[in-house]
Structure 1
């Protein structure tokens, strides 16, 4: 009689001793070791898509605002005949406006992330994924930096439409370094603000009473040599001054930070040290769950 197919019930059970056993890690044992690159990239893309969906407001609107600043201040301060640092006033003020726009938008982006999560009850979307505090910081700051760079490109294109503006670059290292350091500085400050704030009024208070005054008094529209000695000292204590003046140095080859390129370099190193210090503070606060898990 031909052999019949063996039913599943009649088949011998596999040898449980020889079958591999899958062991699951215990509670609190990390599964992802090292850097969670996929999770970091996913959060970064999520934050970029969030502001890019409203790019008219987040990217292109600052370009229009900057053109209005340039037009008003150029016409109010003598038109095209006024000279500052040996160039026309429009050429002098243009790099500062670009840097100012980049910093303001870096702050606006990072100061919204965690605050909106607390307000909408979605903060767990940031805290529950298998991301370390450093990965969370890198993703949020990276998204803010991306917005700052896009705004900087939009501002540059808009300012080039203004007659008489020369944006020739004298020192690329200064343009890149001070542009990045200024954007990272405001992104970190925005992240700290987002952690501290409990409502949008708190965020607006930091913007109106801290960020805007420091930005407007950073030497964007003037050189500090024309100020009284006491105000010059106050300006040199303002980190925004070094961002604006260093970024301008990259275009004009001149700066009111100091009479030598070494002074500009020292200002750039100081900004890097400040960012490292603020980044360390932000990391410690994120790790403790300050105002996020309480």
Structure 2
């Protein structure tokens, strides 16, 4: 009993000493606001991870997307075919650019937590003084950065193909829909990374969800050519609004609807959708599901 009393006295007496030495009391968090240093460090870590293999993560998607353009232009764009009043190559190019951006945003964020879980290094993300919101922001910010770099690389590759004109008509639409598409797929990738337990799970989402939604979103066609039933399905696909809105930024028209008002409505709708999706992903991340189990 005397030992316990002396121990409590020492503990109690050490508390003022800690405060006088400039330390916070035990149990009181050091970071009471946003940990900007930790957030920036996480962002740089994620960016450097994909820049170390930029041939695979930046330039390879540009070459692959250019091959899509070449194949579809040769197969469907011969004899001066026009879509929405522009050459077929100019119609397809914006959709391919933003499709590459979205797919690579998903690839980047879906690898972050999954690689840590498989390699046993996820503790390096959970132990630092980072909140769930900061962890989520750093991962998504890096994924969006990769998407933007891929978009620029794909745009440069498109200029190598004759007949492609990428003249901005509505720059706000290019920036907004490109950003919304990248954020949406970054959130989807992060959620997939939380759920996945092995790379096969991640590949399944990529092959059976992301790829079909991307290719069946009006990238290579206008949905007015489809039957009413399939038009309704296309309009339920958020990828359709990203691609059509991004295309509007270059062509000044889209198959969302006639005029600019439907495009503005789609822009607002995507913003609301991403906000709700972000709250959902944040709550899942905060719960520790599949991460802290």
Structure 1 runs of 4+ off > 4 angstroms?
17-20
Structure 1 residues 20 and 174, CA gap change in structure 2 (3 angstroms): closer
Partner of 2:95: 96
Q: 1:80 touches 1:90 (CA, 8 Å); kept in 2? A: no
SS state of the match for residue 111, structure 1?
Answer: helix
Partner of 1:253: 252
Q: 2:140 touches 2:187 (CA, 8 Å); kept in 1? A: yes
Structure 1 residues 132 and 232, CA gap change in structure 2 (3 angstroms): same
**1:132 to 2:131 alignment:** yes
Structure 1 residues 80 and 99, CA gap change in structure 2 (3 angstroms): farther
Unpaired runs of 5+ residues, structure 2, are: 1-15
Partner of 2:193: 194
TM-score w.r.t. the length of structure 1 is 0.92
Q: 2:77 touches 2:87 (CA, 8 Å); kept in 1? A: no
Structure 1 residues 19 and 139, CA gap change in structure 2 (3 angstroms): closer
SS state of the match for residue 29, structure 1?
Answer: coil
Q: Deviation at 1:242?
A: 0.2
Higher helix share: 2
| CA distance in 2 between partners of 1:192 and 1:20 (Å) | 42
Q: Deviation at 1:134?
A: 0.7
Q: Deviation at 1:80?
A: 5.6
Equivalent pairs counted in the alignment come to 278
Partner of 2:21: 22
**1:83 to 2:82 alignment:** yes
| CA distance in 2 between partners of 1:276 and 1:190 (Å) | 15
Within 5 A, what are the aligned runs for 1:229-268?
A: 229-268=228-267
Q: 1:133 touches 1:283 (CA, 8 Å); kept in 2? A: yes
Aligned-residue Cα RMSD (Å) equals: 1.6
| CA distance in 2 between partners of 1:19 and 1:270 (Å) | 52
Q: In terms of mean alpha carbon deviation, does 175-184 or 280-289 score higher?
A: 280-289
**1:274 to 2:287 alignment:** no
| CA distance in 2 between partners of 1:79 and 1:178 (Å) | 29
Q: Deviation at 1:25?
A: 3.8
Q: Deviation at 1:33?
A: 1.3
Q: 2:18 touches 2:24 (CA, 8 Å); kept in 1? A: no
Unpaired runs of 5+ residues, structure 1, are: 1-16
| CA distance in 2 between partners of 1:18 and 1:204 (Å) | 55
| CA distance in 2 between partners of 1:264 and 1:56 (Å) | 35
1:200-223: CA deviation from partner (whole Å, max 9, x where unpaired): 000000000000000000000000
TM-score w.r.t. the length of structure 2 is 0.92
| CA distance in 2 between partners of 1:32 and 1:20 (Å) | 17
Partner of 1:8: none
Partner of 1:171: 170
Structure 1 residues 83 and 136, CA gap change in structure 2 (3 angstroms): same
| CA distance in 2 between partners of 1:208 and 1:163 (Å) | 31
Q: 2:180 touches 2:242 (CA, 8 Å); kept in 1? A: yes
Structure with bigger gyration radius: 1
SS state of the match for residue 259, structure 1?
Answer: coil
| CA distance in 2 between partners of 1:177 and 1:281 (Å) | 22
1:158-184: CA deviation from partner (whole Å, max 9, x where unpaired): 001110111011100000000000000
